Amino acid sequence: MRFGKKGKLSPRYIRPFEILERVGAVAYHLELPSDLSNIHLVFHVSMLKKYNLDPSHVIQYETIQLQDDLTYEKQSVAILDKQVKKLCSKEVASMKVLWQNHTSEDVTWEAEEEMRTKYLHLFNK
């Protein structure tokens, strides 16, 4: 069984990993993620494939200004959706917010009242 699949369907190569050191003449010690912790970290050169640099694999990132206590201020980018939930005798409005330096999977639902007080610039459009 190789990488969770059995038989012909098991992948021969899964993805590129960083080489930490050379062990002997024909073996390399690789840095593997925690989900592959049951696999030995040293591989023979015949089991490795040369990685060809692909510019689309480079991740672009923005720097974040950290405060003295190592926290940062969240900046909202856009409001994606709005919903109103009815609770017994009152209605609660909430908004789906996309935050700066987060992916579209990391959106959160926030109370509309708080959003209007903290991020008024989003409502002036």
| pLDDT per residue as tens digits for the range 31-53 | 988 888 888 899 999 989 888 88
Taking residues 90-113, report their average pLDDT: 83
Q: Model pTM greater than 0.75?
A: no
Inform me whether the pLDDT recorded for 2 exceeds 60. no
Taking residues 42-71, report their average pLDDT: 83
What's the confidence (pLDDT) of residue 29?
95
- Position of tokens 């919903």? 83
Q: Which domains does the chain have, with CATH numbers?
A: 7-52 (no CATH), 76-122 (2.40.50)
How far lies 65's CA from each of 29, 61, 70, 71, in Å?
35, 13, 9, 9
Is residue 122 a contact partner of residue 115, using CB atoms and an 8 Å limit? yes
